[in-house]
């Protein structure tokens, strides 16, 4: 558990100006140290189902494991990890497991409930532990960091547009007007398996982290976002409200979700034991949403 004053977290979501309902889902827990955002896609309300399954499943698993499992030291824990994760904090495996279970749940519902066929969701999540931040993402929801005067995008979109940018086929200016802006190449729950992009970053006191759906980044450019986060005389609540207001002023074409986290103190978190949780205890609630 983190001390109450280590992280200050504000989350806010808005349906935007053109959509009838909100398919974004967001959650956070400052004591455990996680933030998670999902932007659903699919037929009528199916995207909303996918994003809710993702966020509630991941949040429940992280909470249960972090609170209830016996503590192990690093050497004991590493025997359970994939070799590629060994350089990261041991909790990286918890994120991998939780995301895999969420993917299984979404895919199962999409295959067994006709009204949810083909649904999926983007995902971006962070876990603060031992003065580090573990960042996982799938799709084009993003995480940014403001450190002093430096504003950095910590995730790279899984999208057709990003592939075109990486290949030098279009410029950043052309990308602003591309018809491929919302075509993702990776989503949670669409296929039986999905690869989570996972990275670890050092954390410094004073850092501000932003998780957001593309309802913000399609409407507001990075420079404008940085200007809002850099204002020293306003709090996170006002920052979040201003970001959503600006996205709506620029058209509000999609749902808009933001989670802002400011790091107030250094922190150190003990490592929990890895545990794969089943999904049966969630499924009654999931099916209830489909009625």
Report pLDDT for 81.
52
pTM: 0.88
The model's pLDDT over 97-154, given as tens digits with 9 standing for 90+, comes to: 999 999 999 999 999 999 999 999 999 999 999 999 999 999 999 999 999 999 999 9
* CATH superfamily entry for domain 7-267: PPM-type phosphatase domain (3.60.40.10)
Cβ-contact 276, 62 below 8 angstroms: no
C-beta separation of 11 from 241 below 8 A? no
pLDDT at 177: 75
Tens digit of each residue's pLDDT (9 = 90 or more) over 188-198 = 999 999 999 99
Residue 69 pLDDT greater than 80, yes or no: no
Would you say residue 285 has pLDDT above 80? no
Q: Output the pLDDT for position 269.
A: 58
Give the start-to-end residue ranges of the domains of the chain: 7-267
Tell me how far apart the terminal alpha carbons of the chain are, to the nearest angstrom.
Answer: 37
CA distance 281 to 173: 48
Structure tokens that stand for 74 in this block:
């690093």
Query: How much is the mean pLDDT over the chain?
Result: 88
C-alpha torsion 199→203→209→212, nearest 10? 10
């Amino acid at each position: 558990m983190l001390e109450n004053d280590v992280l200050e977290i504000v989350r806010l979501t808005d349906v935007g100006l053109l959509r009838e309902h909100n398919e974004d889902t967001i959650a956070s827990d400052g004591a455990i140290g996680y933030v998670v955002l999902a932007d659903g896609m699919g037929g009528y309300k199916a995207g909303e189902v996918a994003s809710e399954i993702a966020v509630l499943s991941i949040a429940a698993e992280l909470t249960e494991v972090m609170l209830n499992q016996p503590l192990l030291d690093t050497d004991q824990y590493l025997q359970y990890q994939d070799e590629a994760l060994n350089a990261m904090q041991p909790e990286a495996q918890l994120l991998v497991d939780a995301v895999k279970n969420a993917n299984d749940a979404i895919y199962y519902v999409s295959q067994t409930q006709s009204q949810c066929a083909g649904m999926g969701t983007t995902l971006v999540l962070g876990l603060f532990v031992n003065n580090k931040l573990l960042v996982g993402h799938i799709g084009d929801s993003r995480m940014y960091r403001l450190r002093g005067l430096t504003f950095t995008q910590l995730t790279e979109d899984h999208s057709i547009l990003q592939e075109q940018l990486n290949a030098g086929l279009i410029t950043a200016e052309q990308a602003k007007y591309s018809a491929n802006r919302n075509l993702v190449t990776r989503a949670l729950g669409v296929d039986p398996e999905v690869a989570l992009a996972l990275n670890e970053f050092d954390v410094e006191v004073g850092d501000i982290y932003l998780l957001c759906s593309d309802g913000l980044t399609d409407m507001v450019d990075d420079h404008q976002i940085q200007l809002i986060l850099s204002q020293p005389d306003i709090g996170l609540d006002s920052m979040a409200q201003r970001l959503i207001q600006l996205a709506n002023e620029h058209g509000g074409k999609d749902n808009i979700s933001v989670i802002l986290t400011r790091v107030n103190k250094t922190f150190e978190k003990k490592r929990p034991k890895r545990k794969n949780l089943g999904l049966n205890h969630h499924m009654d609630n999931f099916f209830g949403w489909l009625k």
